[in-house]
Structure 1
Amino acid sequence: MSGGTVHIVGAGLAGLSAAVAMVGRGRKVVVHELARHAGGRCRSYFEPALELTIDNGNHLLLSGNASALAFLEKIGGRHLLDEPQHAEFNFFDLESRERWILRPNDGPVPWWIFAKDRRVPGTRAFDYVRLGSLLNAAPCETVTEKIDPTTTLYKRLMEPVLLAALNCDPKEGSAQLAAAVVRETLGRGGKACRPLFARNGLGPALVDPALSLITEKGGELRFDHSLRAIEWSDARAWALQFADGTIELGRDDQVVIAAPAWVARTLIPELRAPTEYRSIFNAHFAFPSPQSLPKITGVVNATTEWLFAFNNRLSVTVSAADRFNEADREPLARRIWSEVSAIAGIDAELPRWQIVKERRATFAATPAQNALRPRAETRWKNLFLAGDWTATGLPATIEGAIRSGETAAKLALAA
C-alpha cells in the first residue's frame, strides 16, 4: 500500500460507500464502528417476536438513484434487486376505499399527465404543470409556500410522497429538498421512478457485499470500537482516542467521520450540523402477503402511510412519527393491522407483530435545518465528513448517504 491510512468512523451506508470507493486505490482503509454490526439504519436482522429476518426500516430505492446503483454494481449486489419493467405506484384511500395506480410514462416528456387512467383521480393535467413552481424554490421556502396544499393532487400524491422523502410534514419541509427529489425522479420520467425491491432484504444487497469487498481489497473492519475523542494540532487531527487505546495519525493519514450528526458534533469542535430530528416507525406483521397485493401501496386518510408486501410479512412505514413516540405499542399495532386488513382484503386476527421506532431517524428537513448541513470538507486538513445529514442536496435518503461517502472519498484521495 502507498500513502497513509484512511480511518473511517461509522459503518453505515455513508461510511461503507467511502470505504468501497477507496479500497484498492493504494490506500489502507480501516473502518471503526461503535456497534457490533454494519449498516446503521439500513440493516437486516432476525427479529424473535416475528421469528423472521426483517430490515431495520422499509427503505425504497428508485431506478434514478444513480449513486446507489453504481455502489450496488461495484459491490456485486445489483442482481439482488428486483425491478419492474415500468413505473407503477398503487394507492388506496382508506376513507373512500378508492384505489388507483399512478403510471408515469418512461420518457422525460410527461404525456402521462394527459391520460386520465394514468394520473391521480380527480386531478387535471394542469395541476401537474403547476408543480413546476417547486423547482425555483428559495432556500427559506417550505413546500406549501410553493404548491397549494388544498388540492386533490397534493392530498393524494404530493403529501404522502414528500412526507416519506423528507420525513417531516411538507408544510414545514424544505421546498428546495422536495424539488431535488422531484427533479431526480418524476422530472426525469418514469424510467427514473421504477421502484427497486431487495428480494432478500437490504442487508444482503447493500451491506454484506460491501463488507466482503472491503476485506477482500485489504480493508479492515473494527466493530464494537467506540471513538471517544479526536486530538487536534496544526489544523489537523493527529490522534483518535478509542475506548481501548489511542491511534496516532501520520502526516499522510486521513479521517472520514461518517457517524450520525449528533455524534459528529461531540467529536469535532464548533461543527455546524443539524440539531433537530424526526422519527419513523415501522410495524411488521408475520402474515404472508396475498398474491394480488402490490409490493408497495401508498395510503391516504390513514395512520398507515406505505404498505410493503414481502413474501412472509406485511410491513407498514409511518414517517414524521414523533406523535407516536410515547404511544402504547399493542393498541397501535391493532390499529395498523385493522388498516392493513382493509387495504389487503384480509380477514384475520392480529398475527405476530413488532413495532420498531427510530426516534432520530433523520434530520428535520426544514429550511432552517437544511441550512445547517456541512460540506464534506472541514477546516481540518485531513478530516472529512460523510452522512445523509451533510450537504448532499438531497433529504436523508439512501441515495444521499451513498453520495456523501463518494464525495468524502474523492476529497480524501485528492488530498
Structure 2
Amino acid sequence: MSEHATSPQAPPPTRRVSARVGAIAESATLAVDAKAKALKAAGRPVIGFGAGEPDFPTPDYIVEAAVAACREPRYHRYTPAGGLPELREAIAAKTLRDSGYEVEASQVLVTNGGKQAIYEAFAALLDPGDEVLVPAPYWTTYPESIRLAGGVPVDVVTDETTGYLASVEQLEAARTARTKVLLFVSPSNPTGAVYPREQVEAIGRWAAEHGLWVLTDEIYEHLVYGEARFTSMPVAVPELAERCVVVNGVAKTYAMTGWRVGWLIGPKDVVKAAANLQSHATSNVANVSQAAALAAVSGDLEAVARMRRAFDRRRETIVRMLNDIDGVTCPEPQGAFYAYPSVRGLLGREIRGRRPESSLELAGLLLEESEVAVVPGEAFGTPGYLRLSYALGDEDLVEGVSRMQKLLAETAETAEAKG
C-alpha cells in the first residue's frame, strides 16, 4: 500500500431509534400505575391514585352484547376501517341526545380509544411547524400527539387561582401567525375544571374570529357535579362547526377503558383524511369492542348516573382530606374524577430526613414512605402539583389519603420542634 494511501473512513454512527419517536416520553400516568401494580404484586400494600380508570365493572348489558358478537361469524372478518356503519349511526344519535350537536354518520370515525382519535385529528390538521395552543395543566398525551404530527405545542398555563380555566386574554397573548389549532378540554383531565357556558362561547367566538381550528375533547361529558354543566363548543358556537373536531369515547362514561373504543367527529374532509390514515395504521377497531360500544351508546344512562353519584361522594371526601393537610391547597373539581392539589407549600420541608424540592421528588417520597402512588405535576406541564384520581374504592381512597396526612403531618411537627 502506498504511503500516501489512507484507510477507509468509518461510516458515521446511525441512530438506532428515530429522533421523532425517541423524543416521546412514556405516559407518566400509565408508568405510575404500572409501578404501583408491580409493587402490589410483590406484596406491598400500595394504593394507586395514578390511573384515570373507573373501579366499576363494565355494565352487564354491554358485556352480553360483546359475548353475542363473539359468536357472530360476520364479526370474525374485517369490517370498514372507519367503523361499523351501525355504530357510526348510533354515535351520531348519541351525540345529538347528549350534547345537542347534530352530525351525520359520515362525520364519525371510530378509533382505537380516544388516544388514536386525538393523534389522527392532529395528523389530519397539522403541517410541520403549525402551533397548537394547549392550556396547562394538560393530559400527558396531548403534547406528544401534537409533536408526532409535526406540530408545536404552546403551553397556556393556568393555576388554582382561576380554577384552572384559561381566559381569552391568555389565549390571545399566546397566539402567533403559526397558530392553527386550539385544544379545548372541559371537563378537564387532570384538574376536573369545567368551563361555564359563557366562557365556552367567548373562547369559541374568539377562535372563529381568528380562523383557528378547535379540537375539543369531550370524553368526560357525563361526569360533572353540583351546579356545573357540560357545554359542547360547536353547539355553543355553531359557526365554529366547520373548523371543529370533537373527540370522545366509551372509556370513562361506561367503565370501558380496556375495550379501546373512541371516536372523532368533524368535517367530512378531515374525517376522510383521518380514516385514510387509520386504514393503513390499524384498519378497523376490534369488532367485538365495537359491538359492546354500540350497546353502550344506544342504551340509557342509568349505570352512568350510579357511577357519577359514587364519584361525587369520593370527590367531596378527597378534597376535604387533602385540604386538611398543612401546605396543600386543593380546589374543588367540578368534573371528571381527579383532584389536582397544589403542594408547593410542602416543597423544601424536611420529611423523614429528606427535603423534596419538586412535586416529582415528593411523589417518589410518598410512594416509598407511605406506599401511595400519585402522579406529579411535572407530567402535566405544571410542577408543584399532584394529580390524584378518585376513581377507586371509598375505603382505599380514605386509607390512601390518611397515609399521606400522617406522613406529611411530620413536616409541621418538624417545623414546630425546630421553632
Shorter-chain TM band: under 0.3
TM-score of the pair, normalised by structure 1: 0.27
TM-score of the pair, normalised by structure 2: 0.27
- Higher relative strand content: 1
Q: Relative contact order, CA 8 A, sep 6+: which one is greater?
A: 1
- Higher relative helix content: 2
Larger gyration radius, structure 1 or structure 2: 2
